[in-house]
Structures are given as structure tokens and as C-alpha cells.
């Protein structure tokens, strides 16, 4: 893994809803990953029920993850290891 100073900034947008069971499961996985991610990676939660249309960015169903840096989108539930691999692959090896 590269030194932390080499990691570019990135936002991971987590689109969710309060009535979404898969969102709750994914939120737990993201919280577990957040503690091991470097400071340059910010996981932001967006509840589509309480935000304006612009903030939804075209999202029609949840859960959705969108990595802003490389526009990679993960739809639905993913395994923690798969999510970790996507984050590291895009942040460390896509320059």
C-alpha cells in the first residue's frame, strides 16, 4: 500500500433510504471500512428521501455507491472484500 501522502482525495457517495434493508446492511460494511480508510477517502451518506433532486444525481433506487474520483458506480449490496478492492484499485492504481 502506498504511503498516505500519495493517496489522491476521493469521495464515496452512499445513496440510501430509511426504509431500505439492503442499505442498512451496506451501511454497516461501510462503517467497518471507514475506520481503516485513510483520511483522503471520505464516505458520505446521502438519504434520497430528504435531499433535493440535484443531490440525488439521477439515483432512482438504493443502495448505490458512487466513487466520485473515477465515476465508478456499485449498485446493490456488495461484499466487504469487493468494496475494499474497488476502493484500493481506484485510489492507488488509477492515476
For 78-89, what is each residue's pLDDT tens digit?
Answer: 778 888 888 888
Task: Give the count of domains, the chain.
Answer: 1
The whole domain housing 71 covers: 4-92
The confidence score (pLDDT) of residue 2 equals 43
Contacts 24+ apart (CB under 8 A), 57-62: 57/13, 57/15, 59/15, 62/15, 62/16, 62/17, 62/20, 62/22, 62/23
The whole-model pTM stands at 0.68
Low-confidence ranges of the chain (pLDDT < 50): 1-4
CATH classification of the domain holding 81: 3.40.30.10
Amino acid at each position: 500500500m502506498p504511503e498516505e501522502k500519495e493517496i489522491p482525495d476521493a469521495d464515496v457517495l452512499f445513496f440510501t433510504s430509511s426504509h431500505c434493508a439492503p442499505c442498512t446492511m451496506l451501511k454497516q460494511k461501510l462503517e467497518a471500512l471507514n475506520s481503516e480508510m485513510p483520511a483522503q477517502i471520505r464516505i458520505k451518506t446521502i438519504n434520497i428521501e430528504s435531499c433535493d433532486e440535484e443531490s440525488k444525481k439521477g439515483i432512482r433506487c438504493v443502495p448505490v455507491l458512487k466513487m466520485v474520483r473515477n465515476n465508478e458506480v456499485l449498485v446493490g449490496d456488495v461484499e466487504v472484500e469487493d468494496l475494499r478492492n474497488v476502493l484500493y484499485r481506484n485510489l492507488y492504481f488509477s492515476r
